[in-house]
Structure 1
Amino acid sequence: MKTILEKNGANIRYKPVGQFEETRFEKIHNVIFSNSNQASIKVAEEIAALIRKKQEANKNCVLGLATGSSPIRVYEELVRMHKEDGLSFHNVITFNLDEYLPMEKDNRQSYWYFMHEHLFNHVDINPKNIHVPDGTVSSDKVIDYCISYDDKIKKNGGLDFQLLGIGRTGHVGFNEPGSHYNSGTRVITLDHITLVDAAPAFLGIDNVPRKAITMGIATVMSAKRIVLLGWGENKANILKKTIEGEISPQVPATYLQNHKNCTFVLDTGAGSQLTRNKTPWLVDESLEWTESLTSKAIVWLCDETNKSILSLTDKDYNDNGMSGLLTTEDSYDLNIKMFNKLQHTITGWPGGKPNADDSSRPERAEPARKRVIIFSPHPDDDVISMGGTFDRLIEQGHDVHVVYQTSGNIAVSDTDALRYAEISKRIGPTDEAQKIIDCIKDKSDSSFDSLEVRKLKGNIRRGESYAAVRYLGLEDSHVHFLDLPFYETGTIKKNNLSQKDIEIVKSIITEIKPHQIYAAGDLADPHGTHKVCLDAIFESLDRLKAESYMDDCWVWLYRGAWHEWDVDEIEMAVPMSPSQVLKKRYAIFCHQSQKDGVMFQGDDSREFWMRAEERNKNTAERYRALGLSHYAAMEAFVRYKF
């Protein structure tokens, strides 16, 4: 008999079971929430309940803790419980999973610093009960140190609860591919993908330490209870491998399949590739065939059979777990409906075609000239993500405004900033230019940019933005820079969305009174800025929805350099000719500071213009493979109904 967590309405509760199997594909119990905030609160509630239970028994509570972006909201909720609900940490002993090597405690990239910033400095834990691997231990002492770390855990009664995240290599802690099931705490060399993922926090991959101290697989597996957090679409593929795949040292997280009390807590993006979500008809033949699920299934079936929509047969449906679709309609009718649905998403008139029948078009014909806001989280997302549509809207005479939500200053390298500062000094020597030069040259690896340097970097991004939109034919008066406060910390870590941020976004919407809003719906942004910017827009729209002009405002979501909408999700597809593809490329080229080794590369080493062109080409190719018209490239959008 083992114990699992199950979702029960809005709650999570323990439920003993004999043998757990969510579906025949899944080998680890998992709970999926609509968003990571809700999920994090539930996990924090479980930890708090365990702490209080131990207090009632006059025992210590030994927690294994993780770092990274995934557990931050859990720690925030624990801090809130301490301050508002009286949760005490006086009996809590903590052991962190890992630490970079070498790494000083006071370096803002250290996990010691992270844990104190997010949790320890805000609760009543005894400092003597805090254990974070020492990133300064010398090479001749590190083996003994690692052994002693495991011994301390055992002497304290073992881990009552272990909180985990998961890396894209499938690592837990820093147990990279190849880690042995019996491994204890040790030094490990980090995988290249792990280094790439850590690069933004270190302002470049060259600054990321190559080694780390990590709890081993055996140490993690010794915990009485394990909860692994997974947020966002960029974790979906590795989570599918972990939950549904075979146990393998090449995906170390799969070892958790053998733990008797382990739950993966996911949001919808992270769980999107699980079979029961991606292809639920393979799991449940009695499911309800909604319109959206039908569309998803038919596109999938075309991929599986390598056929166009109109070529699918009854046998194709029956042979691939989709016989339930044929109970009310035959394949011919299903195919025609899906073909027409996709055909009607294609338009060369993203602002609507004037004086035309718009009943089968994605956008309204009237008003013929629309006021349009293109929100861009960073100063280049507009041209990277929808440069062709941007160009088309201007050419077709719409009143287009581009709104850059953040300055993007942290994405400008010190090398670029120094070059601009030195050029400025040569043109007109000033004390301010020299101060900026000195600040950059004197900057250490762990120090923050000064305000003057941040302003220069922001102005570099502004200049590039003006160059790009002027190339597309937009007037300077239609370019707006919001410099939202949540972003202006000078570090990768941003502040939470504030009322001031929302009021700024609300104000620009109120000023322009748009008929169309375009916004970045790409929530796989590795440093979270897109999500905060989108939340600011959504909250502003919610507060403005009673205004009369909002009755005629439509919102279209685009995706950025990381992912594209699935074909079955697309509600507007804007074709681009070869010449427009080139025009978009040249507009992206105007963002010179983001070319040639950009600081926030993500998991793709290519430049943004290359990614964008391939993504747009692939979208067009998918439409062609489904039997529709063939274009050089397509930009895709989904409508958000507020």
Structure 2
Amino acid sequence: MARLNLLEETRFEKLPVTIFENPKVASIKVANRIADLIRKKQSENAPAVLGLATGATPVGVYAELVRMHKEEGLSFKNVITFNLDEYYPMQPDADQSYVSFMNKQLFDHVDIDRNNINIPDGTLKLEDIPAFCLNYEKKIAEVGGLDIQVLGIGRTGHIGFNEPGSAPNSGTRLVTLDDLTRKDAARDFGGKSFVPTKAITMGIGTIFHAREIILMAWNGKKAPILKKAVEGEMSGEVPATYLQMSDNVEFVVDVEAASLLTRFDTPWLVKDCVWEEMLTRKAVIWLANTLGKPVLKLTEDDYNNHGMAQLAIEKGPVYNINIHIFNKLQHTITGWPGGKPNADDSQRPERAEPSTKRVLIFSPHPDDDVISMGGTFIRLVDQQHDVHVAYQTSGNTAVWDDDALRFVEFNIDFAKKMGLDAAPTETMYEDMRSFLEVKKPNQIDTKEIQTVKGLIRKGEAIAGARYCGLEDDHIHFMALPFYESGKSQKNPVTSEDVRRTIELLQQVKPHQVFAAGDFEDPHGTHIVCFNIILDALTELRKTEAWAQDCWLWMYRGAWHEFETHEIEMAVPLSPQEVERKKYAIFKHQSQKDRAVFPGDDEREFWKRAEDRNRETARRYDELGLAEYEAMEAFVRWKF
């Protein structure tokens, strides 16, 4: 019976998917499978032939293999490896090369014979690549083929660098990279313009010949493409769907990557559900959106015809369900994000008392505050709350080099105009120009350049916060140490990051904290900053009464918005407030027109924020609620 239930739940899935609580647990399981193969082959006096992947996904697997080598004596002397791909052109000693990546993550730490390592050569002459690719295939065949092929999946659906349009029988070859793939790699190269346009990759046909294929995917960024790969029709538009033809494949994913699979996203379509409040809200909103109807117009037939008959029977009549969900949505809307004084707050998202609250807005980068919640920021100040803003990082890696030079040039000219000694600044300026003329992609800036870039963003943040109505003593710059590495790869979080956060929280003693809950941030800074805040508040809640009464609200908007069923506070913005928010964002001039790291959204930050806020309001309107110009959305963290 249990087996039948599982088959029913997974009937939309066209290949095996194993789901783990988090990437660490999953990575250890995959590493153990590889280690078991290596040991088995050693007992047979035979080589273990591994197909290896690069990128963030397999890092945990390699770390566990290194641990097993150092602590358990796992030997790699019988291991032969073939990497999936390499950028072209690419020097092997470049930081971005997959040779460097594999050495850093695995090969430098184990006892593998270097002659057994095979990675596509990014230094070849163009005319020599076809022969190299044929020989790569021949070498794989000569050692008996791949025992295990480890894969990640790109957001285009690529496996290896087999981009959309790749044939299922393709072999190792030179390919052109998709624009989205190059955008995703931009952070590693210091900008998309520095990312190679081509790569050498194993083909899908090559991958298919492996005796075992393990595709791994972590976090919500991979959820949309994972759903297509697992549940979609086979298509060259999503090359990973070709794995549906293999009998030897398994997808190993974490909970977040699996979140859009039917059995998790719309479980009522495949099984009976326990209809708790959040699932009911999600299902009713889904039904309304699917049918293009307001919530109050949904009928019993609508429920019965769309997998929700069980809900109608258990919680019905359906009109009562509709009214209940409509009221819940209505109660999320408030023009008083700090609570409405002298009002019944039993149906409001925030407490009425104290009527004047101390508010601390944390901003991971120096512009996330106004981009994601600028309207609410201004509203809180206008409603006389004691608002503070804290910029957690300098954001100095996201300033163009020519902007840094321009600001130093201004400083030199200003000094001369004022009769001040500009010579030291001129010397520094010449050193900066000399460095930037030979600077390599993603090379760490000099300390002077880092300082200038940080000051640019600091000045913009101050201008934005002042525009929102803050005095300077309510604007805080934390410069958390984890960020200040001068490079895209940040330092590990330490107790110092948490200590500085605790210190600021103790200084302000806020009733409300707002923090970025936009964990789809492609740079990873948002979730790191959020976890630091969470650690600090968790520690303070053990001993300090004010911290136990402090509510933590998460905002989004820079990258994605909350789903409608998740929203617990929706702050409507008038047309005039939308304009005020836009002007606050405009204070961040270095991020306007063309951001250094825009992600895969080419719109300017003010435009993407404005569009998302209007989209949130439109979604509420289509569900039958009041029509507003725009809305900012928040979810309360439950400790």
Per-residue Cα deviation, 1:291-339 (whole angstroms, up to 9, x for no partner): 1110000000001111111111111111111000122321111011101
Structure-to-structure mapping, 1:132-531, within 5 angstroms: 132-284=119-271, 286-328=272-314, 329-428=316-415, 429=422, 430=425, 431-445=427-441, 447-531=443-527
> Separation in 1 of the partners of 2:150 and 2:490?
23
> Separation in 2 of the partners of 1:133 and 1:421?
44
* Number of the residue aligned with 1:610: 607
Q: In terms of mean alpha carbon deviation, does 31-40 or 451-460 score higher? A: 31-40
How far does residue 22 in structure 1 lie from its aligned partner after superposition? 5.7
How far does residue 618 in structure 1 lie from its aligned partner after superposition? 0.7
> Separation in 2 of the partners of 1:633 and 1:137?
54
Amino acid at match of 2:246: H
Listed as ranges, the gaps of 5+ residues in structure 1 are 1-7, 9-14
Match of 2:127, SS?
coil
Q: Normalization by structure 2: what TM-score?
A: 0.94
* Number of the residue aligned with 2:629: 632
Q: What is the identity percentage for the equivalent residue pairs of Structure 1 and Structure 2?
A: 58
> Separation in 1 of the partners of 2:623 and 2:9?
33
Amino acid at match of 1:439: F
> Separation in 2 of the partners of 1:401 and 1:40?
41
1:84 to 71, 85, 95: 71
> Separation in 2 of the partners of 1:330 and 1:621?
28
User: 1:21–1:27: 8 Å Cα contact kept in structure 2?
Assistant: no
* Number of the residue aligned with 2:11: 24
> Separation in 1 of the partners of 2:231 and 2:480?
41
* Number of the residue aligned with 1:3: none
How far does residue 448 in structure 1 lie from its aligned partner after superposition? 2.2
* Number of the residue aligned with 1:57: 44
Flag the 1:23–1:565 CA change in 2: closer, same or farther, 3 A: same
User: 1:349–1:574: 8 Å Cα contact kept in structure 2?
Assistant: yes
Amino acid at match of 1:453: I
* Number of the residue aligned with 1:622: 619
* Number of the residue aligned with 2:419: none
How far does residue 21 in structure 1 lie from its aligned partner after superposition? 7.8
* Number of the residue aligned with 1:4: none
Flag the 1:71–1:366 CA change in 2: closer, same or farther, 3 A: same
Amino acid at match of 1:325: L
> Separation in 2 of the partners of 1:96 and 1:538?
39
Amino acid at match of 1:576: L
> Separation in 1 of the partners of 2:67 and 2:491?
16
* Number of the residue aligned with 1:536: 532
* Number of the residue aligned with 1:546: 542
> Separation in 2 of the partners of 1:399 and 1:127?
62
Amino acid at match of 1:538: L
> Separation in 2 of the partners of 1:235 and 1:246?
18
How far does residue 54 in structure 1 lie from its aligned partner after superposition? 2.8
> Separation in 2 of the partners of 1:54 and 1:487?
44
Flag the 1:226–1:499 CA change in 2: closer, same or farther, 3 A: farther
After TM superposition, what 4+ stretches of structure 1 lie above 4 angstroms from structure 2? 19-22
Match of 2:482, SS?
helix
How far does residue 36 in structure 1 lie from its aligned partner after superposition? 2.6
Per-residue Cα deviation, 1:332-368 (whole angstroms, up to 9, x for no partner): 1101110111111111111111111110000011111
Amino acid at match of 1:390: F
Q: In terms of mean alpha carbon deviation, does 483-492 or 345-354 score higher? A: 483-492
Amino acid at match of 2:331: H
User: 1:159–1:223: 8 Å Cα contact kept in structure 2?
Assistant: yes
Per-residue Cα deviation, 1:39-90 (whole angstroms, up to 9, x for no partner): 2233223323333333333332222111122222322333333333433323
How far does residue 120 in structure 1 lie from its aligned partner after superposition? 2.0
RMSD value, Cα: 1.9
Per-residue Cα deviation, 1:573-602 (whole angstroms, up to 9, x for no partner): 011111110111111111111112212111
Match of 2:613, SS?
helix
Q: In terms of mean alpha carbon deviation, does 97-106 or 110-119 score higher? A: 110-119
User: 2:8–2:270: 8 Å Cα contact kept in structure 1?
Assistant: no
* Number of the residue aligned with 1:598: 595
How far does residue 641 in structure 1 lie from its aligned partner after superposition? 1.1
Match of 2:528, SS?
helix
Flag the 1:568–1:226 CA change in 2: closer, same or farther, 3 A: same
Amino acid at match of 2:152: G
> Separation in 2 of the partners of 1:608 and 1:280?
35
Match of 2:542, SS?
coil
Flag the 1:499–1:41 CA change in 2: closer, same or farther, 3 A: farther
Amino acid at match of 1:544: L
How far does residue 164 in structure 1 lie from its aligned partner after superposition? 1.1
Flag the 1:318–1:175 CA change in 2: closer, same or farther, 3 A: same
Matched, 1:584 2:581: yes
Flag the 1:45–1:360 CA change in 2: closer, same or farther, 3 A: same
Flag the 1:177–1:516 CA change in 2: closer, same or farther, 3 A: same
Flag the 1:21–1:629 CA change in 2: closer, same or farther, 3 A: closer
* Number of the residue aligned with 1:38: 25
User: 1:439–1:453: 8 Å Cα contact kept in structure 2?
Assistant: no
How far does residue 270 in structure 1 lie from its aligned partner after superposition? 1.9
Flag the 1:102–1:233 CA change in 2: closer, same or farther, 3 A: same
> Separation in 1 of the partners of 2:80 and 2:342?
70
Match of 1:344, SS?
helix
How far does residue 182 in structure 1 lie from its aligned partner after superposition? 1.2
Amino acid at match of 1:81: M
Matched, 1:571 2:592: no
Match of 1:373, SS?
strand
User: 2:130–2:173: 8 Å Cα contact kept in structure 1?
Assistant: yes
Listed as ranges, the gaps of 5+ residues in structure 2 are 416-421
Amino acid at match of 1:479: I
Flag the 1:123–1:403 CA change in 2: closer, same or farther, 3 A: farther
How far does residue 20 in structure 1 lie from its aligned partner after superposition? 7.5
User: 2:24–2:60: 8 Å Cα contact kept in structure 1?
Assistant: yes
* Number of the residue aligned with 1:11: none
How far does residue 370 in structure 1 lie from its aligned partner after superposition? 1.4
How far does residue 234 in structure 1 lie from its aligned partner after superposition? 2.4
User: 1:232–1:523: 8 Å Cα contact kept in structure 2?
Assistant: no
User: 1:65–1:97: 8 Å Cα contact kept in structure 2?
Assistant: yes
> Separation in 1 of the partners of 2:498 and 2:37?
37
